[in-house]
Structure 1
Amino acid sequence: MMDTPGIPLEDGDTMDGTLLDLLEQNAALNADRPLYSFLDRQSQISCTLSFRALYEQAKRFAGVLQNRQCGGKPVLVMCPHGPEFLIAFFAAILAGAWPVPVTRQRARSGTGLRALFRASGAATIISTSAQAASLPKSAANVPLQVLLVDKPAIDSNPYLRPAIAESDTAFIQYTSGSTSSPKGVVISHANVLHNAEQIRRVFACTKSDIGVSWLPFHHDMGLIGHVIAPLYVGLHNYFLNPVNFMARPARWLQAISAVGGTLSGGPDFAFAMATEKVSEQDAAVLSLQQWRLAYCGAEKIRPGTLARFAHRFSVSGFRRRSLFPCYGLAESTLFVSGQHGLITRSFPGLNVNRPVVCLGQPAPGSSVIVVDADSGSRLAAGNIGEVCVSSASVAECYFHDPAASSHVFNGVHDNGKQFCRTGDRGILYQDRLFLLGRYKNVIKCRGCSYHAEDLEAGIREGLVQYGVTRCAAFAFTDRDSEKLVILLERGRGTESNGKVSDQNRIDRAAALIVEEFGIVPDDIRVLPVHGLPLTSSGKICRGQCPDVYQQLIGGHNDRVGRQGMASGVA
């Protein structure tokens, strides 16, 4: 059992208490036990916060926030991936303010930062002296106060604990916006504690577990899974800088090996990068047998990715049964369902011929149904529809967006329950969830519908030897008709490798689409490394792909369909 507030959930129950209670009681119960440690590039500890140190430092800065009248208002948290972020985040919560984590992309973009200020209505930003100095000049016109967590004001009054209820706002989590503009999910204290308990139960977490994460703090998987859940359970979590992971994925597995990590994971692309980039020499010296739960979520999971990862690192002691495919979304705080093991299934009767990864049963206290995306009516098990979730973890609304809130959070009711619409296509089969992709990624072309993820999966698997690391399939409107366009992204080092030409890549991609789906793409283009737009969490930003394509064709739509489509697809 845990030594933190609340009791284990029964189905439908909510947690008692708030994050303030959690911080206070852990500071007393766990005191000087290590809570968060930060690792450098050599997997050496550079800084550690104990349960008590986190609370005391956050409480001191909370007094500063209260003195600046931040309580009951959103405040942007724009800090580097270090202890400053955690202190600022929890200080805002202790002060009764609503922290809004800011992505690195938005922090560097004046346009993005101004948009976030407009959406959130925030008038305060918490940062560090170094990062505040690099605020975009275009953000200078925004009326705001900048408070430095590493140089707090000395004129603040003593901290006064605010009266906070479980239903009150804890923080605002902005979605990554892979298919639309980011929306601020209003997460209450009850939401986050309920989800933390679900994670504790389904992951079977105890104080003896050791978490390892490279995930950004602004990402719900990083924030809930590796900041709040460890605080809730009372376990020790180690952090790598996301930049260091992206530069050298081996550092992630080396950190797990070095500290004896038992809980770690990430999106599909992280497992793919590790399989591709970690050398045989590095894999041979890794010790991963203690890694008991390797969760994978946040984007569609490709069966081959996890299978190749498990095979690749079996030499390091990694066990295939440690794989834990899961499903979640920011609107439900984070976690919805998951299970141990890699189980796949196809559904030929539903024209789903490629294997789909099983994402397990809903967590205790959650219900998942599949509905008709147009009518919102519940569908019988075994049908394809929109996945909807009901749980005490589900937020009530988006911040200052009543229209979207009504559609997403109050658009589906069934059996006396209110369900959140996820926008995801899926199948419930034998009470287990199988995810097919996003509804907004459906491409209608020549009288048929094609799912972008299915097209991309077929291309990626067939172009591994052609040096293609990412691809995007999307619809491009040209003279009132929709065209199927494919963008391919070359991998690192392929520019200097003359063995495969871009025309070879185009021909092969076209042939793959024709062979598997019976349709000829209207155009295929090849982009250099980092050419595809990505969200802050590393997903392809589909909403920006038509703009990228428009730039490629120079605004002349009559060029659509002429790029290398003559060969290989007759």
Structure 2
Amino acid sequence: PVRLGKLDEYHQRTTAMLRAVEAALVVTDARIRPLLDGAPTRLGCVVAAELDGAGELESTAVSDDIALIQFSSGTTHDPKPVALTHRNLLFNLAAIADYFAGDSLPAPVGVTWLPLYHDMGLIGNLLTAFYLPRPLVLLPPELFLAVPAAWLRAISRHHGTVTAAPNFAFGLCLKRIQDEELAGVDLSSWRLCLNGAEMISADVQRRFGERFAHWGFDPAAFTPVYGLAEASLAVTFKPVNHPVTVLGVRRESLAAGGVVEPGTAELVSTGRPLAGVEIEIRDTDSHPVPDDRVGRIVVRAPSVMAGYFDRPDLSSEVLHDGWLDCGDLGFLHDGELFVCGRSKETVIIRGANHAPQDFEAALDGLAGVRVGCAVAVGYLPVDTGEEALAMLVETTPDVPPGLAGDVAARVLQRTGIAVRHVELLAPGTLPRTSSGKLRRLEARSQWLTGTLSPPQQAPLPGSAPC
């Protein structure tokens, strides 16, 4: 996808991905080809309609052949090519199908707007629909972003029973949907509302359930999940017919020693491992830790990749004796997984480890701040030897006076941590992945080097509105 005003970034990332997998040909459509043809490096593109069919072609694949390569987190110039075999994919699809076969779940009818270049869209929706099989209604991602109500109307119209979306989607529905847009809508068929791909907010789920219950949505449909590209997709799901578990924890205890103690900060369980999946929480020396202790999440399953394509250097960093280091911090409580944040994105203040999401969530609802468009980073100010907190914040067009001070005050009020610097940014400035996740490490690097720049103002050919 091309972000508005970020054509150069798109060319750089696309070129890097194609080189990483030694691609010989790019098949695209007429709408996208002009964007690719403008790249400084020729990408060898053809439009699908130009290809002559060769009739039926026999192809023999064995289980350990590479089925697809999907890209995980990484910088624009060095994306990570996750090589998944047929065995990896089929095991994960079978585990998802086993979950859908749970007691009292209706025959699944999927309704999704997720892009098919994202693992939750491709594997969790499209390939799962082929595997089960099940009906699947596809909406253009740009339609949902422009008119979130279109998603709920489609669920009603097609009697959708299952959806999957990142947490920000539910926040966008709360902010953008007007009641009159849902005239005649009935959401009572919506039985599984999978929420994953980023940190899950108990407050957003609670407010979504309360508001859309008026149109028949059952809050019990919320199903938090956890997964990652390196494990094909799905790792944990909330158990069927089991309420969502929300723990109140002391953020200070988590930060200081990784100990789970009762408190007011809410963490949402992402459920239990799917069939055939093993999870452990380990310390920095790779030793397992007991329940209610924060550590690195590691996973073992037949769905875990054999490695990054042609990158043994990257593979050796995350794969050890069949276990995958997910790069996330979390803990187990009564057999359920709670995710605290990305290990490499941790902000260290006076020796205490803080998840950046804690600071970012503090800005929810603050006038002048774009929803889901703030990044918390740690840095070393030139006048001190202690790491400090900076907030990089995209603003709405109507920036209220004193917004930087409001940001600092809100973070201090909600977390007890002082903000040393607030950077107010134009919309679209923060770097994101192809699936819309914020690239915190890249944002930090660009900010520190002075290269965090706003997008161009002119719209691109074929680009969708933000």
With structure 1 as the length reference, what TM-score do the two structures score? Answer: 0.71
Partner of 1:251: 150
C-alpha spacing 1:235/1:107, structure 2 compared with 1 (3 Å): farther
C-alpha spacing 1:221/1:112, structure 2 compared with 1 (3 Å): same
3-state DSSP class of the match of 1:286?
A: coil
Distance 2:193 2:338 in 1: 19
Establish whether residue 127 from structure 1 lines up as the match of residue 28 from structure 2. yes
Distance 1:518 1:344 in 2: 22
Query: Which among 49, 56, 59 is matched to residue 162 of structure 1?
Result: 59
Partner of 2:458: none
Distance 1:178 1:198 in 2: 31
Query: Which among 122, 127, 130 is matched to residue 228 of structure 1?
Result: 127
Residue ranges of structure 2 left out of the alignment (5+ in a row): 254-258, 454-466
Distance 2:268 2:76 in 1: 22
**Structure 2 counterparts to residues 227-376 of structure 1, below 5 A:** 227-339=126-238, 341-348=243-250, 350=259, 353=263, 354-372=265-283, 374-376=284-286
Query: Which among 435, 442, 452 is matched to residue 544 of structure 1?
Result: 442
Distance 2:430 2:415 in 1: 23
In the alignment, residue 359 of structure 1 is paired with which amino acid?
A: T
Establish whether residue 474 from structure 1 lines up as the match of residue 377 from structure 2. yes
Distance 1:138 1:180 in 2: 15
Offset of 1:242 from its aligned partner?
0.5
Offset of 1:176 from its aligned partner?
4.2
Distance 1:554 1:238 in 2: 38
Offset of 1:550 from its aligned partner?
4.5
In the alignment, residue 489 of structure 1 is paired with which amino acid?
A: E
Residues 278 and 301 in structure 2, CA contact (< 8 A), matched pair in contact too: yes
Partner of 1:438: 342
Distance 1:554 1:361 in 2: 39
C-alpha spacing 1:140/1:458, structure 2 compared with 1 (3 Å): closer
Distance 2:375 2:68 in 1: 33
Residue identity over aligned pairs, in percent, reads 29
Choose 301-310 or 350-359, whichever is displaced more: 350-359
C-alpha spacing 1:483/1:286, structure 2 compared with 1 (3 Å): same
Offset of 1:120 from its aligned partner?
1.3
C-alpha spacing 1:167/1:278, structure 2 compared with 1 (3 Å): same
Distance 1:471 1:180 in 2: 23
Distance 1:234 1:381 in 2: 38
Partner of 2:316: 406
3-state DSSP class of the match of 1:133?
A: helix
C-alpha spacing 1:152/1:136, structure 2 compared with 1 (3 Å): closer
Query: Which among 420, 434, 438 is matched to residue 324 of structure 2?
Result: 420
Distance 1:132 1:191 in 2: 32
**Structure 2 counterparts to residues 468-547 of structure 1, below 5 A:** 468-469=370-371, 470-479=373-382, 482-491=387-396, 494-495=398-399, 500-501=400-401, 503=402, 505-547=403-445
C-alpha spacing 1:134/1:141, structure 2 compared with 1 (3 Å): closer
3-state DSSP class of the match of 2:390?
A: strand
Distance 1:317 1:181 in 2: 45
User: Which string of whole-angstrom CA distances, capped at 9 and with x for unpartnered residues, describes residues 497-527 of structure 1?
Assistant: xxx32x1x32232223333444321101222
Choose 450-459 or 259-268, whichever is displaced more: 450-459
User: Which string of whole-angstrom CA distances, capped at 9 and with x for unpartnered residues, describes residues 124-165 of structure 1?
Assistant: 1111244223314234445x4x343223225x4x43322211
User: Which string of whole-angstrom CA distances, capped at 9 and with x for unpartnered residues, describes residues 194-222 of structure 1?
Assistant: 11111112133889421111001110000
Residues 260 and 293 in structure 2, CA contact (< 8 A), matched pair in contact too: no
In the alignment, residue 96 of structure 2 is paired with which amino acid?
A: I
**Which protein shows a greater Rg?**
1
Residues 284 and 315 in structure 1, CA contact (< 8 A), matched pair in contact too: no
Residues 179 and 542 in structure 1, CA contact (< 8 A), matched pair in contact too: no
Distance 2:76 2:280 in 1: 23
Offset of 1:238 from its aligned partner?
0.7
3-state DSSP class of the match of 1:545?
A: helix
Offset of 1:449 from its aligned partner?
2.7
C-alpha spacing 1:443/1:467, structure 2 compared with 1 (3 Å): closer
Partner of 2:292: 382
Residues 394 and 429 in structure 2, CA contact (< 8 A), matched pair in contact too: yes
C-alpha spacing 1:169/1:403, structure 2 compared with 1 (3 Å): same
Distance 2:289 2:106 in 1: 41
In the alignment, residue 212 of structure 1 is paired with which amino acid?
A: V
Residue ranges of structure 1 left out of the alignment (5+ in a row): 1-102, 556-570
In the alignment, residue 264 of structure 1 is paired with which amino acid?
A: T
C-alpha spacing 1:478/1:117, structure 2 compared with 1 (3 Å): farther
Distance 1:400 1:115 in 2: 14
Partner of 1:138: 39
3-state DSSP class of the match of 2:431?
A: coil
Residues 426 and 433 in structure 1, CA contact (< 8 A), matched pair in contact too: yes
Query: Which among 99, 102, 105 is matched to residue 202 of structure 1?
Result: 99
Partner of 2:461: none
3-state DSSP class of the match of 1:193?
A: helix
Partner of 1:110: 11
Residues 113 and 139 in structure 1, CA contact (< 8 A), matched pair in contact too: no
Offset of 1:471 from its aligned partner?
1.4
Residues 70 and 119 in structure 2, CA contact (< 8 A), matched pair in contact too: yes
In the alignment, residue 323 of structure 1 is paired with which amino acid?
A: F
Residues 183 and 398 in structure 1, CA contact (< 8 A), matched pair in contact too: yes
Residues 430 and 452 in structure 2, CA contact (< 8 A), matched pair in contact too: no
Q: RMSD of the alignment, in Å?
A: 2.6
In the alignment, residue 29 of structure 2 is paired with which amino acid?
A: T
C-alpha spacing 1:552/1:110, structure 2 compared with 1 (3 Å): closer
C-alpha spacing 1:459/1:315, structure 2 compared with 1 (3 Å): same
Distance 1:438 1:323 in 2: 23
3-state DSSP class of the match of 2:223?
A: strand
In the alignment, residue 231 of structure 1 is paired with which amino acid?
A: F
3-state DSSP class of the match of 2:98?
A: helix
**Structure 2 counterparts to residues 210-225 of structure 1, below 5 A:** 210-225=109-124
C-alpha spacing 1:546/1:396, structure 2 compared with 1 (3 Å): same
Greater relative CO, 1 or 2 (CA 8 Å, sep 6+): 2
Offset of 1:121 from its aligned partner?
1.2
Distance 2:203 2:452 in 1: 37
User: Which string of whole-angstrom CA distances, capped at 9 and with x for unpartnered residues, describes residues 300-353 of structure 1?
Assistant: 001111111111100110001101011010011111111154320023362664
Establish whether residue 190 from structure 1 lines up as the match of residue 91 from structure 2. no
3-state DSSP class of the match of 1:229?
A: helix
Distance 2:98 2:126 in 1: 17
